Each structure stands twice: as structure tokens, then as C-alpha cells.
Structure 1
Amino acid sequence: MPSLFGDVISAFMNVPRESDPKASDAEVVVSGVPFDLACSGRAGTRMGPNAIRQATANLIWEGKRWPWDFALEERLNVCDAGNLDYAYGEPESLVDNLEGHAERWLAAGKKMLTLGGDHYISLPLLRAHAREHGPLALIHFDAHTDTYEQGTRFDHGTIFHHALKEGLVVPEHSLQIGIRTSYDRQNHPYEVLDADWVNDHGPKAVLERIRARVGHHPAYISLDIDGLDPAFAPGTGTPVCGGMSTDLMLKVLRGMVGMELVGMDVVEVNPAYDHGDITSLAAATLGLEFLYVLAAGKRVWRVVDPRQ
């Protein structure tokens, strides 16, 4: 079935378009998942991947991106696999196709940056990553814990409950950052750095907690754009005031150089509720920062690992 959206996208940062994992020399693949059938708030995140890619037009000109001392293409080969094909209106098709898509790229030795779409897409992605790397440390930026048990089978608010039940994540190595909605604090399986604590203590303290919690465990980053305050990301389905600034989140992400990061998704961008592409630009910038973190980490790896 041809993609409903694949013919109108541009590649993330104008990187090469690739469809065959085995034939590609890319180290990281960017994929879009235009899916929003699991959302409980405002629909429209199916348009997120295209909007994020288009927003990278504001980032391409920079060359060596501040504050890094190198251009991305000097250290990291990246490709864009386009948008996932699935039978629109059938969530089972989304799950099967996304798991298969991720497994093929991961089996070829690639890392993934995936653009949503609503947050439900993280569950099939975690399944594929856990098959490749084993149970993962989860670094989760969000206004909501997404650990609610009362949701339906396809629900963007239950994904990290199911991920835990399926053994995809290791809770003692996982954190949820920026939370500012209710959850069961007495029985919650993950460490939570709530939005008040994060905003009061700043990026250095957040990074100290992340590194202490995750250690050297393989880690997956799931970044819901509503982890940002609506002042910085108005275009999302369930905005909650009191969140992180884009600057703070970038500094936290930037500080993860050298960690064993195996993949990242950026989800819940809903461009219909934005003006001036503020949210799409924030998501594109955060995704690009992840790529720079991976590129900078290659240099660290070569220094500390005598086998290289």
C-alpha cells in the first residue's frame, strides 16, 4: 500500500533518502510515523513528521551547529527512510509494520531517530529495540507518565505501563522528566523528576540524576514535545503549563554525550495548533541535537575504547 503522506515530505536536514537498510552506509536512520489513532486529546499528530522535517530548513544553513565544533556530516552518516507505510485506520497494521521496519534497520546496525505521530508509536519501537539490545533504560521527557492502566489497547497514555509489563524497560535504570500531572506516587515504578524540581534545579542537576540512574545501561530516549511548556511548544494534543524551556531540554540532551544511547523518538507534534512552526522547530532542533550527541559520542568512544 503506498504511503498516504510519503510523497509530500522533504528529508530531515536534506540527508539522503534510503529504503534498504543493508545497502545504506548510514549510521542513523530518520523515520516518520504519521499515526494519531491512539491519542486522547486533540488529533492531528499524523502531520507531525512532515512538519518536523520541513522545519529543518531553518537549521540546514548553520553548518557547524552551535555550540559544537564540527558539522554533523563530518562525523555521522544519516539517512531518511521516509514515512512508514501502514493500512490507515488499522492500528494493528501500524504496530506490525513499525516493529518490522525498526527491526530491519536495527539488524543492519543502525540507530534510529523516529518522528511521530502520537506517543503510542514508542511501544512498538521499544519492542524492536529491546529485541536488539535487551531490556532498556528509559529516559522519558513528558508532562504525563503514560503509565495509566485503565486505557484501551491502543492508547498513548498506557505505553510505559505495557512496556514494563512486557519486560522492555528496566525501571531501576529509568527516569521520567518534566512530569506535571497526577500519578500514583506510592506505587510508581520509575524515578520521576517533576517539572518543578527540574525547573528549580536546572540541567546540571538533571544530568547528574540521569547518569546516576542509567549508568552504562543501553538507553532509549522518548521525548514527548509536551514535556516543553506550551509557551515553547503550543502545537501538541495535551498541553500542560509549567513545563521545561527549550533551552533547558537542549542542555540536558546535550549533556548525554558518551552515554549508550540506542535510539530516540520525538512525538506528539500537532502543527494544526501552532503558529509560526514554533513546535515543529523545537522538535526538529531536539532531534538534530540527538544526532550531534551521537556524533560527539563517536569521538569519545574512540578515545576510551582500545579496540577502536
Structure 2
Amino acid sequence: MTNTATVANADLPLYGELGMTFMQFPIVRNLQDSDAEVVVSGVPFDMATTGRPGSRLGPQGVRQASANLIWEGARWPWDFALDDHLKVADSGNVLFRHGEPQTMVDALTGHIGSILKSGKSALTFGGDHFISLPILRAYAVEHGPVALIHVDAHTDTYSGGSQYDHGTIFHHAVEEGLIDTEHSIQIGIRTAYDKKNHPFEVLDAAWVGDHSAADVVERIRQRTGDKKVYLSFDIDGIDPAFAPGTGTPVAAGISIDCALKMVRGLQGLDLIGMDLVEVAPAYDHAEITCLAGATLALEYLYVLAANKQQK
């Protein structure tokens, strides 16, 4: 029998208790008492999806796939073990009332705000890309407008759509002054957008395919400079040959090798947060999309650890 009081109060995630943490990092319940420098969170939300649903199970899939990465003490090509230089904890999934999107917005904004106020940074697993908007709202309160590195097949700057739409998030983020557009860049785009009035620099997928990962990194560095940088990575930025498990796959994307080299190349930038979104395990094969997402997130953590050693 369903415990209606518990579900109504969102005391438990709709999709069950946390089965395992990302990379078997310790669970954190009290942010203020934790010595973690980075807090992992999951947001099992896909009500803003316009294509195939299913990314609400993305956090579970990415955490589960991370089991394939745990055995490697010092991950290639790094020459140190992550745990020796960076403290990471997993806070589980953000709780909200499923079927009521605004409760997710409020809960996620508050949760990320609590992470930042406790002096930590956030690594967040979606869920669909709409979760980036409440996250950026929390970041803007703490840091002001941030430089955005956005990897995606779509610009997500469309002005149409409903109040909750994963294709309009960066339109609203720009309108709300959450993003420093002069220092932001989008990578891997291969769908239509208004090029004349577009607020971001774009390295489309064809350009990326014709250049090296080092060229992409150089353009990113030129664009972001010394600004505080937030990385939003939609897994459909990756070609569906490498990441089929997503709601809106688009052919001719970037390779996972290129994507990992890009993330690795962000070393030295003032990175303050990341989200990894749109992993939909129901459309995956042999966990390759979940593994791609987990690997990208782990690579980001290694970049943070490397940056910490350079200070």
C-alpha cells in the first residue's frame, strides 16, 4: 500500500532510496558538518522534456555506471588518486513532489544554495536540462553572472515553449541576468537557432569535427578568460554512436574521446560547478551512455583536484 502522507510530503524519492553513491563517495546529510569540497546531487526530473522521457532515471544510471570506474586508483592519464587531493560526497537525490514542477525548482534552488553557502561546489546529475535554470539561479546569488561552457546538440535558447521546458533554459537565464554572455560559449550545436541574434559564441559540431580538441579548448580559454565558469553538459552533445541513451539524439555529434579531452583541457579555469544532464537509461545499450556520463563527471573532478594542487 502506498504511504500517501510520505509521498505527498516528498520525504522519500519517488524512485526509491539511494542504491549507491557516485564512485562510492560517502553520503552527506548535513552540509555544514561535512568536510567535502564538492557535493554530488541527483535530480530525477524529466517533466520539461519535449522528446522521449526517461532522464529522471539518469542519476541512478550514472551512479550505477560509476562502479566501472572505482577500481582504478589513479585514473589514466592523471598521475594521482582523486581521493588524495579532493574530498567529494554524495547528497543523494533532491526531493520534490513529482507531478508538481515548481516544487522541484524551489527545492533544487534551495539545495544548491545551501551547498554554495557552506563553501562547497556542486556536481549535479539530471534529469532533463531544465534543472540547469534553478541551479544557475542559485549560483548567480552567490557569484553573480557566470561564464557558461555549454556542450549540447541544441542551444536551448528558444523563447517559445511552456514555463517548464528544457529547450528554453538559457533564454530565461540570459533574460534573468544569470549568465555573462560575453564570456560564454556553446559547443557541439547541430540544430537550428537564430544566428543573427544569438547571445553566445558557438562552436558547432561540424567545426569541432574539423578541428582538434586542443583547438576547441583554446577557443574556450579565449572566451572564458579569468571569469568564474560553470559547465553544463548535455549528454546529447555526444554523437549517439557513443551516447544513444538520451531523449533527443542528434546524429553527427562529437566523440566521447573529444569530449573527455575538452573537459581535461579545462584545467586552470576557475570552475565553480557542473551539471550532467539528459542521460536516459531506457534508451541506452550496455550502459555506454551512463558510462560516458559518469566518466565525464569523474574527469571534471580530476580537473578540480589538479587545479587545487596548482594553488
TM-score range normalised by the length of the shorter chain: over 0.9
Partner of 1:254: 264
- The corresponding residue for 2:275 is 265
1:289 aligns with 2:299: yes
Q: Match for 2:194: what amino acid?
A: D
Within 5 Å, which residues of 2 pair with 1:9-28?
9-28=19-38
Q: Which residue of 1 aligns with 2:193?
A: 183
Q: Displacement of 1:9 after TM fit?
A: 2.5
Match of residue 165 from structure 2: 155
Q: Secondary structure at the match of 1:61?
A: coil
Cα offset, 1:5, TM superposition = 2.7
Separation in structure 1 between the aligned mates of residue 218 and residue 267 of structure 2, nearest angstrom: 13
* Separation (CA, whole Å) in 2 of partners of 1:133 and 1:142: 24
- 8 Å CA contact 2:18–2:92 kept in 1: the answer is no
How far has the Cα of 1:4 moved from its partner?
A: 1.5
Contact 2:229 2:273 in 1 (8 A): yes
Q: Residue 203 of structure 2 aligns to a residue in which SS?
A: strand
Equivalences for residues 112-131 of structure 1 within 5 A = 112-131=122-141
Listed as ranges, the matches of 1:84-163 within 5 Å are 84-163=94-173
Residue 258 of structure 1 and its aligned partner are, at CA, apart by 1.3
- Identity percentage of aligned residues: 61
- After TM superposition, the score normalised by the length of structure 2 is 0.96
Q: Confirm whether residue 33 of structure 1 aligns to residue 43 of structure 2.
A: yes
Calculate the TM-score normalised by the size of structure 1: 0.97
> What is the distance in 2 between the residues matched to 1:279 and 1:84?
22
For residue 304 of structure 1, what is the aligned residue in structure 2? none
SS at match of 1:113: strand
Q: Give the Å deviation of 1:267.
A: 0.1
Post-superposition CA distance 1:187-229 (Å, at most 9, x none): 1010000001011111111111100000000010000000000
**Secondary structure at the counterpart of residue 299 of structure 1:** helix
Say which SS state the counterpart of residue 76 (structure 2) adopts: coil
**Corresponding position of 1:69:** 79
SS in 2 for 1:7: coil
Q: 1:191-206 maps to which residues of 2 (within 5 A)? A: 191-206=201-216
- Alpha-carbon RMSD: 0.6
User: Matched residues in 2 for 1:88 and 1:175: separation?
Assistant: 33
The alpha carbon displacement at 1:6 in A equals 4.7
1-structure distance, mates of 2:214, 2:144: 29
Unaligned 5+ runs, structure 2:
1-9
- Give a deviation string over 1:48-92, Cα, whole Å, max 9, x none: 000000000100001100000001000000000001100010000
Secondary structure of 1:188's partner?
A: coil
Q: What is the aligned counterpart of 1:218 among 221, 225, 228?
A: 228
Q: Equivalences for 1:40-59 in 2 at 5 Å?
A: 40-59=50-69
- Give the letter for the 2:235 counterpart: I
Counterpart secondary structure, 1:60: coil
1:5 touches 1:83 (CA, 8 Å); kept in 2? no
CA deviation profile, 1:79-112 (whole Å, cap 9, x unmatched): 0000110001000000000000000011001011
CA distance in 2, matches of 1:209, 1:300: 22
- CA distance in 2: counterparts of 1:147 and 1:218, whole angstroms: 21
Cα deviation digits, residues 282-307 of structure 1 (max 9, x gap)? 00000000000000000112xxxxxx
Conserved? CA contact 1:9–1:82, under 8 Å? no
Amino acid at match of 1:61: W
Q: Is the 8 A contact 1:30 1:82 kept in 2?
A: yes
Counterpart residue number, 1:279: 289
Amino acid at match of 1:174: S
**2: CA distance between counterparts of 1:82 and 1:280?**
17
Query: Partners of 1:7 and 1:136 in 2: how far apart?
Result: 33
Q: Which moved more, 1:259-268 or 1:1-10?
A: 1-10
Q: Which residue of 2 aligns with 1:306?
A: none
- SS of the equivalent of 2:63 reads helix
CA contact (8 A) 1:6 1:82 kept: no
Q: For each residue in 1:96-143, what CA deviation from the matched residue of structure 2 results, as whole angstroms up to 9, or x when unmatched? A: 000000000110010110000000000000000111111000000000
